[in-house]
């Protein structure tokens, strides 16, 4: 693999938040990146959300940047992760210390990171802790999650009382997230 090599791309639609998203997974010089563009209503107005999540070659999140642009203004957040320490916009986020992943509420793309990193066999499960970024408020909090591999292309995701089956591509991108959330309109 060379840096910048496209591994997969997907176009999602979500009836839940009425969003449409284009996401691209590609290699970088130090690992992998997820880049996406989400078009979604926020507080009744059209908004554009752009994100990039960089992971090392072991699929551990190293940096995440998200920008929300709407007619009412632009907001952004930048997370960085080194060792077990997290920062948000340059300030220490001690409550996320020990988290390995970032989970952006606005996209199913970030589920790819733990699923790829864990390498679970069918029937196995693992608990992880992620720095969850809410949407549209961009609040960050740790969340405990469980991934259980049900079949070659299906995982059961759990966080608190929430559960959903994730059907994934060979590259690990979600093709269907439950029945009420994201589903792929096109995949390559």
Residue 103: the pLDDT is 97
Phi, psi dihedral angles at 179 (to 5 degrees): -110, -15
Tokens 């079949």 -> residue: 151
Contact present, 93 and 102 (Cβ < 8 Å)? no
Phi-psi region of 98 (alpha: psi -120 to 50; beta: other; left: phi over 0): left
Helix (H, G, I), strand (E, B) or coil at 56: strand
Contact present, 181 and 16 (Cβ < 8 Å)? yes
Q: What is the pTM of this model?
A: 0.95
Q: Which two three-digit tokens encode residue 35?
A: 């880049």
Contact present, 113 and 61 (Cβ < 8 Å)? yes
- Rounded Cα gap, residues 51 and 107, in angstroms: 9
Domain that residue 85 falls in = 6-187
Specify if 1 maps to a domain. no
Contact present, 26 and 37 (Cβ < 8 Å)? no
Specify if 138 maps to a domain. yes
The number of domains in the chain is: 1
Contact present, 117 and 126 (Cβ < 8 Å)? no
Contact present, 76 and 137 (Cβ < 8 Å)? no
Specify if 136 maps to a domain. yes
Specify if 183 maps to a domain. yes
- Rounded Cα gap, residues 121 and 186, in angstroms: 27
Specify if 88 maps to a domain. yes
Residue-by-residue pLDDT tens, the chain, 188 positions: 456 899 999 999 999 889 999 999 999 999 999 999 999 999 899 999 999 999 999 999 999 999 999 998 999 999 999 988 999 999 999 999 889 999 999 999 999 999 999 999 999 999 999 999 999 999 999 999 999 999 999 999 999 999 999 999 999 999 999 988 999 999 99
- Rounded Cα gap, residues 118 and 30, in angstroms: 19
Specify if 142 maps to a domain. yes
- Rounded Cα gap, residues 24 and 6, in angstroms: 7
């Amino acid at each position: 693999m060379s840096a910048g090599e496209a591994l997969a791309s997907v176009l999602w639609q979500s009836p839940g938040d009425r969003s449409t998203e284009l996401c691209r997974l590609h290699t970088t010089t130090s690992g992998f990146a997820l880049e996406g563009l989400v078009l979604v209503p926020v507080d009744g107005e059209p908004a554009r959300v752009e994100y990039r999540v960089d992971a090392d070659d072991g699929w551990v999140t190293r940096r995440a940047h998200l920008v929300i642009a709407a007619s009412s203004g632009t907001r952004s957040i930048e997370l960085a992760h080194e060792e077990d320490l997290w920062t948000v916009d340059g300030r220490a986020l001690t409550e996320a210390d020990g988290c390995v992943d970032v989970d952006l509420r606005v996209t199913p793309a970030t589920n790819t990171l733990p699923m790829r990193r864990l390498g679970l066999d069918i029937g196995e499960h693992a608990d992880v802790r992620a720095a969850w970024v809410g949407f549209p408020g961009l609040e960050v909090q740790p969340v405990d999650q469980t991934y259980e591999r049900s079949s070659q292309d299906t995982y059961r995701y759990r966080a608190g009382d929430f559960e959903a089956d994730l059907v994934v591509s060979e590259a690990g991108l979600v093709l269907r997230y439950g029945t009420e959330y994201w589903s792929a309109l096109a995949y390559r």
